[in-house]
Structure 1
Amino acid sequence: MKKAKVAVLISGAGTNMAALLYAAKAADCRYELVLVASNDPEAPGLEIARAEGVATWARSHKGMNRDAFDALVDEQLRAAGAEYVALAGYMRILSDDFVARWEGRMLNIHPSLLPLYKGLNTHAQAIENGDEFGGCSVHVVTPELDDGPVLAQTPVAIVPGDTADSLAARVRFAEHQLYPRALAAFVARERSPDYLRARVREIAMAMPEADEVTSHGMPCFGIIKGKKFAYFTEDHHGDGKIALLVKISGADEQAGLIEMDSERYYRPAYFGDGWIGIRLDLGDTDWDAIGEWIRKSWLAIAPKKLAGLMAVADDF
């Protein structure tokens, strides 16, 4: 089982980072930590990571503007081979550019039942408002603070006499249980045939006059009563790959793509030089690029009149 590579950003004690790290020690965990990074070189969590053999990086953000510091962090994440980022008590507001670079691949854990109580002082607010439950949420990071899609939550009962500190201590136990499970489920879906098939289907069926049939035992997308422009393949002829097959210009383009990235691109069996296989099960699929591949493949087989109408619509 290939594990997803995760970098964790911390600013302090790193207890949630430690929970992610120890969960990753299980043989069947779907991720591994490749870097723990911090904006505070004195963050205690860094020492935990080092002791456990995880690479670390730290630099103070003081004296640097936000964009410059975030660009430096991004450089370290990519150098470590990270495919995903988990924020674990990272007390910095991220730049929009940084969030965009990791769109759909960065998670955060927040100590409330979102959308309640975004920002700070979540436990005090829950107690003051007479809530029955506090809790924690794991969500996808977006430019708006604590506003991304919620993936998982754990409610924690507020008991008589609770203070913000006592509630926070129990919520922290819940966080340590929730975050590893939510992260593992999130990275696993990027390699799940059902998830990948649904993403391909959504993009392909958005093309004009597209339909779906089964061909060669695979979901196949074409223009109604016309040629095919995309296939979704799962272990086709026992090759062990989950991939998208699309039309290309011919042997030269096929060879060039395979030479550029032989792990991602391959010559699909029985399809010839006019097709390329694009792996979707590597955990780092660029869905904007996949959309463009499907669009170009559709254009390659679309009748001129239909392709012309699409070009007009794009210009408009």
Structure 2
Amino acid sequence: MAETPRARIAVLLSGTGTTMSALLFQSRLPQCPYEIVAVGSNDPTAFGLKVAAAEGIATFAHPHSGMAREDHEALMQASLHEHAPDYVALCGYMRILTPGFVDQWAGRMVNTHPSLLPKYKGLDTHQRAIDAGDSHGGCSVHIVTGELDDGPVLGQLAVPILPGEDEASLRRRVQMAEYQLYPHCLEELVSRPYRADWLLERVRAIALALPEAEERESHGAPAFHTGGKSGKFFAHFSETHHGSEHIAVLVKVSGQDELATLVEQFPKTWFKPAYYGASGWAGLILNRADTDWEHVAEWMHRSWAGVAPKRLAGLQRAAEQF
């Protein structure tokens, strides 16, 4: 199988860079699936910029004082794109981001928060946990959305609140947990596009959302069928099948001419699978950082429609008109 490329991470920070350093030093370990390619800040004096520069990482800074939020974000966005990151990690970046900024990194911007979300969004998380009589504080790593401290949680670590503990003590111990959790969750996130188990779950969700679709094993691998005794297969999940380097979903095409055209014009997306290719199946490659899942869904729907009974295909077309 081809070597998996390391994901490019840009970091935004406003302070000392301790959380960034946790990500950075993890990236220097063997087999870490990501690298830090740039560190940016809204404060040119942020100590974290000096730490990054000493480690040979590109840095940039744009002070926000006196600027409209959108204008400042446009500067930060332009600098980020200069370094072509795959993901953005917030590490104590003390700016509330607009939905317009976040949307450009949908699913690819992460943050850490010092509470067990959804508890205690916002500030003063440790004192709020103590005042509530909670047995544990903790931290969460989550995907950033347009809502403050919202978005899917990637991981959490609970930290016991000791008898008589004050806010400062709890904060220090939660920070230690964050330094362990954040690199782990970032590794897991950037590895997803290349993991067969995660890719299969995405394919499975798309397939089983189609009318009367069923999952059945075919030649020892997961596959999807239109259902019933007379049903037919419309997709096969292929994990490095017959020595291929690809993890893919195999879908039906109109014939050898279309298969050859797809492979020739889009060699990074399509391939002719061994065994299945001769019978009109095309391999849609999934283990890529830039997989377009809407495109995958469209082809799986087309493949389903090509073998579904007329009764089902007609009902689906009628439903799509509303």
Q: If the TM-score is normalised by the length of the shorter chain, which range does it land in? A: 0.7 to 0.9
Q: Which moved more, 1:280-289 or 1:174-183?
A: 280-289
Task: Report how far residue 249 of structure 1 moved.
Answer: 4.6
Q: Structure 1 276/53 Cα, relative in aligned 2: closer, same or farther at 3 Å? A: farther
Alignment partner, residue 310 of structure 1 = 316
Distance 1:255 1:75 in 2: 39
Q: Which residue of 1 aligns with 2:297?
A: 291
* Contact in 2 for aligned 1:49/1:56 (Cα 8 Å): yes
Structure 2 segments unaligned to the other structure (5+ residues) = none
CA contact (8 A) 2:62 2:75 kept: no
Structure 1 position 62, deviation (Å): 4.3
Q: Secondary structure, in 3 states, of the residue corresponding to 1:190? A: helix
Correspondence for 1:4: 7
Instruction: Find the residue that maps to 1:156 and give its secondary structure.
Output: strand
What amino acid is aligned across from residue 171 of structure 1 in structure 2?
V
2:18 is aligned with 1:26: no
Specify the code of the residue in structure 1 equivalent to 2:83.
A
Q: 154-163 or 241-250: which moved more? A: 154-163
Residue 232 (str. 1) matches residue 229 (str. 2): no
Q: Give the aligned partner of residue 248 of structure 2.
A: 243
Q: Displacement, 1:314?
A: 1.1
Deviation at 1:252, TM superposition (A): 6.2
How far apart, in 1, do the equivalents of 2:256 and 2:44 lie? 52
Q: Say which is worse superposed, 273-282 or 171-180, in terms of deviation.
A: 273-282
- Asked whether the 8 Å contact 2:114–2:126 carries over to 1, the reply is yes
**C-alpha deviation, 1:95, in angstroms:** 2.1
Encode CA deviations 1:162-187: one digit per residue, 9 max, x unaligned.
44333322221221111111222232
Contact 2:20 2:48 in 1 (8 A): yes
Cα shift at 1:152: 2.1
- Judge conservation of contact 1:137–1:151 (CA < 8 Å) in 2: yes
Where does structure 1 lack aligned partners over 5 or more consecutive residues?
none
Per the alignment, in what secondary structure is the counterpart of residue 98 of structure 1?
Answer: helix
Mean Cα displacement is larger for which, 170-179 or 69-78?
A: 69-78
SS of the aligned residue for 2:89 comes to: strand
- Comparing 173-182 with 71-80, greater Cα deviation is found at 71-80
1:197 Cα offset (Å):
1.0
Aligned to 2:272: 267
Task: Report the CA distance between 1:190 and its aligned residue.
Answer: 3.1
In 1, Cα distance between equivalents of 2:202 and 2:274 = 23
Partner SS for 2:174 = helix
* SS state at 1:174 partner: helix
Residues 69/313 of structure 1: CA separation in 2 closer, same or farther (3 Å cut): farther
